[in-house]
Amino acid sequence: MLHLILFSVFGLVCVGGAVNLLLQRHPINSALSLVVVMGALAVEFLLLGAEFVAAIQVIVYAGAVMVLFVFVIMLLNAGEEERTSGSRVAWLLGIPAVLAGMVIVCWALLARSNAGVAAIGALPGHPADIAQLLFHQFLLPFEVTSVLVLIAIMGAVVLAARPESVERTKREG
Amino acid sequence: MVPLSYYLVLSGILFACGVTGFLIKRNIITIFMSIELMLNGVNLSFVAFAARWQQLSGQVFVFFVMVVAAAEAAVGLAIIIALFRTRETLNIDQVNLLKL
């Protein structure tokens, strides 16, 4: 019962934050509601017993990635979003299509499946157990990930550097 | 005890919000945040399935998704900065060429 209450409360916070992200016009408000969504999701992960995932959700997502977003919003001095008139057909067809899709998926999941229940802390995701998997079974993907991160760092530096500073570095060798 | 389907419905709602934001938003940074929202929705279903089938590999995959999302955020925001430097705008209606 307690599990269900906690799930519902933080699920509602999640959905509220996601809807607020759509409704806000200023990017900084959207970014802060995304932080709320990520924090509430970390609690949902804890309810499922995924302690390590909840911790890195807070540190990496709500911490690092969102700081990057807020930093870029402030750096570019992003103002309010301009309202542009979209296609009327897209509104008339798109919103009913999204709602119909959601209703069908929810109905199929809730009424037609007996997928079972997830008990509170069903699968304790201790860091030690995850590390055991990560450094044995998933060692190759883990190493490939490190190459990916290295390429991402170099790409970010090259893309964000000012053209004139790149030229100067080339000339000076 | 929460049925697994509740977690999947929550994850589906988050994903749908992300897709909607991707389609209706006009600011390129907000569109980028909608993508992060979609990734978060998928992560929730990964963890829920991991708990249901008692397989830790689901949580390891969430780790990989997070690493890819962080790399993508770094490169994407660098592209946004480069774009802003040449176009002086964040409105995607005015960004319709692939070249910077």
Residues of B with Cβ-Cβ distance to A78 under 8 angstroms: 27, 29, 90
Indicate whether B68 belongs to any domain.
yes
- Window 12-71 of B, Cβ < 8 Å to A: 12-14, 16-21, 23-27, 29-30, 32-34, 36-37, 40, 43-44, 47-48, 50-52, 54-57, 59-60, 62-64, 66-71
Look at residues A76, A43, A61, A8 and name the one whose alpha carbon lies nearest to residue B28: A76
CA A24 to chain B, closest CA, distance in angstroms equals 10
Position B77 pLDDT exceeds 70: yes
Indicate whether B14 belongs to any domain.
yes
* Domain residue extents for chain A: 1-80, 138-173
Indicate whether B63 belongs to any domain.
yes
Contact at 8 Å (CB) between A47 and A7? yes
Indicate whether B23 belongs to any domain.
yes
pLDDT of residue B100: 62
Residues of A with Cβ-Cβ distance to B40 under 8 angstroms: 37-38, 41, 61
Q: Which long-range contacts (CB under 8 A, 24 or more apart) does B81-90 make?
A: B81/A72, B81/A75, B81/A76, B81/A159, B81/A160, B82/A159, B82/A160, B83/B28, B84/A76, B85/A162, B90/A27, B90/A76, B90/A78, B90/B27, B90/B28, B90/B29
User: Which of A43-47, A121-125, B31-35, B69-73 has the least mean pLDDT?
Assistant: A121-125
> Where residue B69 sits, what CATH number does that domain have?
1.10.287.3510
Indicate whether B31 belongs to any domain.
yes
Q: Is the ipTM of this complex over 0.85?
A: yes
Question: How many cross-chain Cβ pairs, A to B, lie less than 8 Å apart?
Answer: 229
The answer to whether the Cβ–Cβ distance between A76 and B80 falls below 8 Å is yes
Contact at 8 Å (CB) between B25 and A62? no
In this prediction, residue A36 has a pLDDT band, given cuts at 50, 70 and 90, of very high
pLDDT of residue A165: 67
Name the residue of chain B whose CA is nearest to A157's CA: B78
In this prediction, residue A88 has a pLDDT band, given cuts at 50, 70 and 90, of confident
Contacts of B49 (CB under 8 A, 6+ apart): B4, B55, B58
Whether chain B has a CB inside 8 Å of the CB on A139: the answer is no
pTM here is: 0.88
Indicate whether B61 belongs to any domain.
yes
Position A118 pLDDT exceeds 80: no
Domain A1-80 matching CATH 1.10.3720.10: the answer reads: no
Number of domains in chain B: 1
pLDDT of residue A93: 84
Structural domain for B45, as ranges: 4-87
In this prediction, residue B39 has a pLDDT band, given cuts at 50, 70 and 90, of very high
Indicate whether B96 belongs to any domain.
no
